[in-house]
Structure 1
Amino acid sequence: MAHGALYRLRQDLFVDAFAFRPMPPLEDAKVARWVPWLPERIRHWARWLPHFLVGFFSVCVFLASFTTGYGMGPVRGVLVGGFSLLVAAPPALTLFRPVGAYWLSLGAFVVSAMADALFSEYPSPFSGSTFLTLLAVMTLVVLRTRPRLAVEMWLVTFVVGAGAMVITRHGSGELAPVMAFSGMVLICAAAIRAWREERQHVVETQTVTAEERSRRTLLEERATIARELHDVVAHHMSVIAIQAEAAPYRVKDTPPELATSFATIRENAVAALTELRRILGVVRSEDPDAFADTNPEAPQPTLASLDSLLDSVRGAGLTVEAVTTGSPRPLPQGVELSAYRIVQEALSNALRHAPGADARVEISYVLGGLGLRIVNGAPSRLAKPSPGAGHGVLGMRERVQMLGGEMTADHTEDGGFEVAAFIPVSSAAGETTTGGSRL
């Protein structure tokens, strides 16, 4: 234990003691939180307020030390001025080289003790402003570095102070109360530093946890989308394989070349289906949505199933009005499924976060695609806390971006919430869907 303590003492106070470690300015968020009433330009310069305060303290120490030697003659005045600079420099040096500032301040303390022993009638190492400046430097070093330096610097200062009292032949009566007082000050500084480190660690942990939760939610949503896309593509590939296998039997005297082509189409469809299952997999997990299908083998829902969804929502206590504009037409199954899921998630959010509110679902069939708008009013009663808030919006946004669309989700002026999305659909895709539905 003693070897480990000496090793840490050497690493903290001796190795790279004068290394350049500048103190960064305050963060803009902290300054805005502490002094929000300051103009923005002045608030930008307020980030350097700790540096200014430490520099001002150094100037005050220099003036206080230099004033004691004023009018003592040119030679002694120069010595006093140099010593005053030696005492006042360490506080400012803590902004750039904190451990080196401690050693420089400790050296000034030793020089002051020797000068008192030579020139003072009643020498005392702890009299004057030198030791107070040393204590201030130790406090700044602890606040800037790590809490354990408080104990290490206190022990070194205790040993040096005891040696100075022996050399100056001053009684040891001052040593115990002075070191007790300095120990209390350094303990307070170490506690503040430890609290700041713990708070910063908690903030970083919360940030990492939130990012990890969002990433996990995104991956889960993508896995769900992959499962649904697998079901959609697998359905069409199965239809192709079945039609290719049955086509030769529908034509009398089928040419061998045509039969070979149909067989190749079927083999490629089956191979693509197998590869699709191998890459995507069939992701089967419980759906957290309130109105999800309980049967994993059931067909994926489309906008044609929207009436049953609205009935379920109304049965749960939400008043919903559905409006359809434009001419309804068949859309690609991926678009239909994503549109259904967006409406489902938006209504689920309205149930969770806006109890007692009215909702409106608008579906617009336009020339370039499909428009969705789900809006609900302000809640009429207090909503229960709902863990995972915001993940549904993340999933909806992921679906829309996957299809090349755009989406907005924000609060309305009356205290409600609005989700608006546009999913582009090309005319070729609509024709392909229509043709596929006739097979």
Structure 2
Amino acid sequence: MNQTTQTQSTLRSEARIAHGVLHRLRQDLIVDAFAFRPMPPLEDAKVSRWVPWLPERIRRWVRWLPHSAVAFFAACVFLAGFTVGYDVGPVRGLLSAGFAFMIALGPAVTLFRPVGAYWLSLAAFVLTAFGNAAFSPYGSAFGAAFATLLAVMTLVVLRTRPRLAIEMWLVTFAVAAVVTTLVGQDTGELAPVAVFSGVVLISAAAVRAWREERRQVVETRTVTAEERSRRTLLEERATIARELHDVVAHHMSVIAIQAEAAPYRVENTPPELATSFATIRENAVAALTELRRILGVVRSEDPDAFAERDPEAPQPTLANLESLLDSVRGAGLTVEAVITGAPRPLPQGVELSAYRIVQEGLSNALRHSPGADARVEISYVLGGIGLRIVNGPASRLAKPSPGAGHGVLGMRERVQMLGGEMTADHTEEGGFEVAAFIPVAQGAGEATSGGSRS
């Protein structure tokens, strides 16, 4: 009883496997077999990489080279078949032209309907086999029909998916065995032809699978690079938000303190004025509360961002530039600073961003150009402040720096946030240069500084 149950279970499993294979075969080769799937042209990047020496106008036509090759192959098949029956009389010549057209139709249709082209080519092979049996002078077209069928199957595998290689191979040689038996030919030649065809189709499937894998790897790398860049940008924005919070919170605190102290500086303060100052103080305190709440959200993903430094310490400005230069000199970078124009107070956000840009530029010089000399130029001009950090070529090999490479992105984000412009590129001498200009409204720095001192 147990043996009978096991046998029935095995039969059901085999039936399910066979049903699954037939279902997949039907989905791949029958359902929407003649759906319109045009062959796309070559990508511009590939053409530019393969033939960069060609003019741009000619490279546009090179994109259609695979289509031209397939169309040329179909034309050659038709002309060859037509020439074979040209001298065998008008009736057989016309029949020969018909067979040649059917055989050549398959390769041409692969440009638009690849699976349908396989069925057309298989039908042409079957008709040619029966035509060979009925009209022996046209026997040479039988071999051409099978060669064309094999070429069509190869093109279909290269254009669709690798598993079609096995499916088309099974269908083709099942049909070939039946047709060979019906026309009374020897079936012994099918085995070596089947082996040869299998090798060709498996090779085409391997090429298709390799191309698909390579495309997926390129897409994955592109997505990973974009995600890394986006994450770095968000982290840099969070850092900027934390730093600007300290700047804004300082000014809001000053407003709150002055609003609270103002009524006591005037004797017999009118009640309306005292109420206004009280309202100003309440709004300033509420704004500070909202700032702290927002900062808590920003810092929640990185609670240890300030673990190694005092969170209450003031944010650095260009007044701390000399200590920054001393620290990088101690790390082995030879750097000089040149300040042009009359230094003047700037808004704290501008001072902070300018300091961070100089800091990041010198850090990049230390990281990517060890042993190089660096130069920091700060220009106080009428409309803002100009920054230039340039370093020479490295004198020794730079060590790998995992996770680096996004400092320029952070600097650019700071400059764009303040409405400025920035360039970063390699110099002709082999070094690197970062140049930025941050606009400052006339009198903005003095007003800010004066407000802080009051």
TM-score tier by shorter-chain length is over 0.9
Runs of 4+, deviation exceeding 4 Å: 121-124, 282-289
Amino acid at match of 1:410: D
293-302 vs 161-170, greater mean Cα deviation: 293-302
8 Å contact 1:109–1:130 — kept in the other structure? Answer: yes
Amino acid at match of 1:92: A
TM (norm. structure 1) is 0.95
Partner of 2:373: 358
Question: Equivalent residues in 2 for 1:59-74 (5 A)?
Answer: 59-74=75-90
Cα distance in structure 2, aligned partners of 1:167 and 1:429: 97
Partner of 1:191: 206
TM-superposed CA distance for 1:117, in Å, is: 2.2
Residue deviations 1:199-229, cap 9 Å, x none? 0000011111111111111111111111111
Partner of 1:38: 54
Cα distance in structure 1, aligned partners of 2:280 and 2:64: 73
Structure 2 unmatched runs, 5+: 1-16
Q: Does 1:110 find its partner at 2:106?
A: no
Partner of 1:16: 32
Q: Does 1:329 find its partner at 2:335?
A: no
Partner of 2:4: none
Residue deviations 1:96-117, cap 9 Å, x none? 1101110000001100111122
Question: Equivalent residues in 2 for 1:126-145 (5 A)?
Answer: 127-145=142-160
Question: Equivalent residues in 2 for 1:16-415 (5 A)?
Answer: 16-120=32-136, 127-281=142-296, 283-284=298-299, 285=302, 294-415=309-430
Structure 1 unmatched runs, 5+: none
TM-superposed CA distance for 1:161, in Å, is: 0.6
Structure 1 residues 328, 398: CA separation in 2 closer, same or farther (over 3 Å shift)? same
Cα distance in structure 2, aligned partners of 1:302 and 1:286: 24
Structure 1 residues 368, 286: CA separation in 2 closer, same or farther (over 3 Å shift)? farther
Cα distance in structure 1, aligned partners of 2:162 and 2:399: 43
TM-superposed CA distance for 1:230, in Å, is: 1.0
Amino acid at match of 1:119: F
8 Å contact 1:230–1:282 — kept in the other structure? Answer: no
Cα distance in structure 2, aligned partners of 1:367 and 1:431: 13
SS in 1 for 2:410: helix
**Residue from 426, 429, 432 that aligns with 2:447:** 432
Structure 1 residues 411, 11: CA separation in 2 closer, same or farther (over 3 Å shift)? same
Structure 1 residues 27, 288: CA separation in 2 closer, same or farther (over 3 Å shift)? farther
Amino acid at match of 2:421: E
TM-superposed CA distance for 1:279, in Å, is: 3.2
TM-superposed CA distance for 1:122, in Å, is: 12
8 Å contact 2:251–2:452 — kept in the other structure? Answer: no
TM-superposed CA distance for 1:258, in Å, is: 2.4
SS in 2 for 1:22: coil
Cα distance in structure 2, aligned partners of 1:249 and 1:321: 50
TM-superposed CA distance for 1:438, in Å, is: 2.0
Amino acid at match of 2:236: E
TM-superposed CA distance for 1:37, in Å, is: 2.5
67-76 vs 141-150, greater mean Cα deviation: 67-76
TM (norm. structure 2) is 0.92
Q: Over aligned residue pairs, what C-alpha RMSD do you find?
A: 2.0
TM-superposed CA distance for 1:282, in Å, is: 6.4
Cα distance in structure 2, aligned partners of 1:91 and 1:116: 21
8 Å contact 2:128–2:142 — kept in the other structure? Answer: no
Cα distance in structure 2, aligned partners of 1:122 and 1:368: 89
Residue deviations 1:147-188, cap 9 Å, x none? 011011001001101101110122221111111110110000
Cα distance in structure 2, aligned partners of 1:239 and 1:14: 78
Amino acid at match of 1:184: V
Partner of 2:14: none
Structure 1 residues 412, 288: CA separation in 2 closer, same or farther (over 3 Å shift)? farther
SS in 2 for 1:80: helix
Cα distance in structure 2, aligned partners of 1:389 and 1:277: 30
SS in 1 for 2:310: coil
SS in 2 for 1:129: helix
8 Å contact 2:132–2:142 — kept in the other structure? Answer: no
Cα distance in structure 2, aligned partners of 1:184 and 1:176: 12
421-430 vs 152-161, greater mean Cα deviation: 421-430
8 Å contact 1:403–1:423 — kept in the other structure? Answer: yes
Cα distance in structure 2, aligned partners of 1:366 and 1:295: 34
| Count of residue pairs the alignment pairs up | 436
Amino acid at match of 1:14: I
Residue deviations 1:14-60, cap 9 Å, x none? 11111111111111211121122222222221111111111111111
TM-superposed CA distance for 1:4, in Å, is: 1.9
57-66 vs 185-194, greater mean Cα deviation: 57-66
